[in-house]
Each structure stands twice: as C-alpha cells, then as structure tokens.
C-alpha cells in the first residue's frame, strides 16, 4: 500500500483533478470521461486551494482506522472553480465551521502505517 501512495503523492499534496478539453468543466477527484458532455478529452488540472463549506457534520463515530481523530468535522467544500471536495476540517474553532465559511487547503498527517511507521500526508482544509 505504501508504494501506491508514494507513486501518486502529488495528487494528495496538490489537489490534482481533471479538466475537460471539450467543455471546460473541472472535476475532483479526477475523472476519465466528462460528467457533463461525455468527452474523453480529459487532462490533469491542479484545483484551487480555496473555497467555501457547502455542508458539514461533526463525526463522533468514524470509520475504522480514524477512531483516534474523533470527534472531527467532515465537510463538502465547493472550490473556487466549482468542483466539490469531501474533506476534513482541521485547526479551526468549532464556531467557525459553518456553511458558507471560507476555507483553504493545507497538508496534514493523515495516518501512520503500523508496520513500517511510515507517515502518510494528505490535504485537509482550515477555515480562514
């Protein structure tokens, strides 16, 4: 698993999505066929690192492997280009996490591999 992660690490650090060459629509995560026009003329595109919270929830019972983080905020963020990202909100006061709040992407530790001790990083968002 660690090798796969490191081969695509730029996607975790730089928010790489897709842009349709036919209609200009942008998507995150990356797609192989445009969801709007069906074109296969798709290229990688770095997504904006800023956006707004559309909706959010406070998770008290997360999926296995994330218990140590609980409770934490999970949000759908609409990036400045219109693409939507499901992400964790970190380093923000609880009263600041609300729909419409401006956020920006940051790189934070995602997990530590128990066998090797390798640390995995990924994008998360913080309220500005």
Please provide the CATH number assigned to the domain covering 2-127: 2.40.50.840
Domain range list for the chain? 2-127
Q: How far is it, in rounded angstroms, from Cα 1 to Cα 123? A: 18
Per-residue pLDDT of the chain (128 residues; tens, 9 = 90+): 455 656 666 666 788 899 999 999 999 989 999 999 999 999 999 999 999 999 999 999 988 877 878 899 999 999 999 999 999 999 999 999 999 999 999 998 877 777 777 777 788 999 99
pTM score, whole prediction: 0.85
Give the list of residues 6+ apart from residue 65 with CB closer than 8 angstroms, or none: 111
Taking Cα atoms as reference points, which of 93, 87, 119, 80 lies closest to residue 106? 87
């Amino acid at each position: 698993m660690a090798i796969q992660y490191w081969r695509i690490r730029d996607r975790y650090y730089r928010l790489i999505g897709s842009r349709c060459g036919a209609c200009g629509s942008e998507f995150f995560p990356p797609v192989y066929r445009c969801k709007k026009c069906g074109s296969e003329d798709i290229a990688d595109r770095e997504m904006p690192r800023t956006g707004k919270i559309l909706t959010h929830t406070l998770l008290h019972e997360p999926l296995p492997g994330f218990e140590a983080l609980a409770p934490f905020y999970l949000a759908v963020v609409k990036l400045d280009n219109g693409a939507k990202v499901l992400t964790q909100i970190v380093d923000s006061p609880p009263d600041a996490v609300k729909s419409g709040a401006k956020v920006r992407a940051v790189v934070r530790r995602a997990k530590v591999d128990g066998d090797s001790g390798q640390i995995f990083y990924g994008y998360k968002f913080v309220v500005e």
